[in-house]
Amino acid sequence: MSMTFIIDALVTVIGITTPILLAASGELVVEKSGVINLGVEGMMLVGAIAGFAVTFETGNPWLGIVIAMLAGAASSLIFGVLVLSLGANQVATGLALTIFGIGLSSLIGSNYVGIANDPLDSPFPDDLAKDAFWRIIFGHSPFVYMAVLLVLAIGYFLNKTRAGLVLRAVGENDFSAHSIGYPVIAIRYAAIAFGGAASGLAGADFSMVISPLWAEQMTAGRGWIALALVVFAGWRAGRLLAGSYFFGVLMALELYAKASGFAIFPSQFWAAMPYLIAVIVLAIISSRDGKGGKAPACLGKPFIPNG
């Protein structure tokens, strides 16, 4: 096994892991506020088509990234209005948001099927980005650096700032937070919008870097893996990095099995493995009924203030 192969493998793992890490980072903030949004997959697809379409029409990928984040945030606020202002069930509404995102992205994307954009390359000079060794650090798209900075910033925000403490307090005991004057609904709206923007950014990574040729449902269920990753990481920002790269290795093994034609297990096995682990993780957490877990105490529970 050559050093070049190892470097290529690491770059591949980091690249395919990035959208999961971005989406999971946003969902972590949402769940820390006491809300569970199962519409991550739908928001990713809305961000994917928004970023792709704007980049194609304007030729400006950075504008495409901004619009993708705004599209993700806007779709998440539909969820927010339904669950926070109208008291709808969070699980059912999140699933509906996923279906909405799939349908909307397919509708808008029908005009872009078969069209390709130039992929967004590394922001660093070519002599660094393409060097055999320095590719590990400098050979990635801007989304990779955004994802790492985002999860570090979220970890700092949640654990080291007053605003992060307030957000966590809302997720742990919303009535107590409300009783001392914190605007619970407004804080949760902000968290939901942030989570939607992060999911939109994750979707843009798919349509602008990973597969810059538009195809329906190109996220291929990665939003569900992002949801499981938050649980897998114990609702801790620091663990998201390790957990996301664990799933990334599994997905890279699928690509290796397809490319080489030789593996202990067929590529279909490795393709299914991330989703199988996601189901197992969620089943284990559910069977505990919240005992001994790290989930916010108010997660998924509606907040209806008295008076």
> In the chain, which residues have pLDDT < 70?
1-3, 5, 126-134, 255-268, 270, 281-293, 306-307
Q: What is the pLDDT at residue 177?
A: 92
Question: Hey, is 116 helix, strand or coil?
Answer: strand
Which one, of 148, 175, 198, 159, lies nearest residue 32 by Cα? 159
From CA 196, how far away is CA 180, in angstroms rounded? 28
Fold of 3-288: ABC transporter involved in vitamin B12 uptake, BtuC (1.10.3470)
Please check whether residue 208 is in contact with residue 64, taking contact to mean a CB–CB distance below 8 angstroms: yes
Domain boundaries along the sequence of the chain: 3-288
Write down the residue that tokens 């980091």 correspond to. Answer: 14
Q: What is the pLDDT at residue 280?
A: 76
User: Under 8 Å CB-to-CB from 272, ≥6 apart: which residues?
Assistant: none
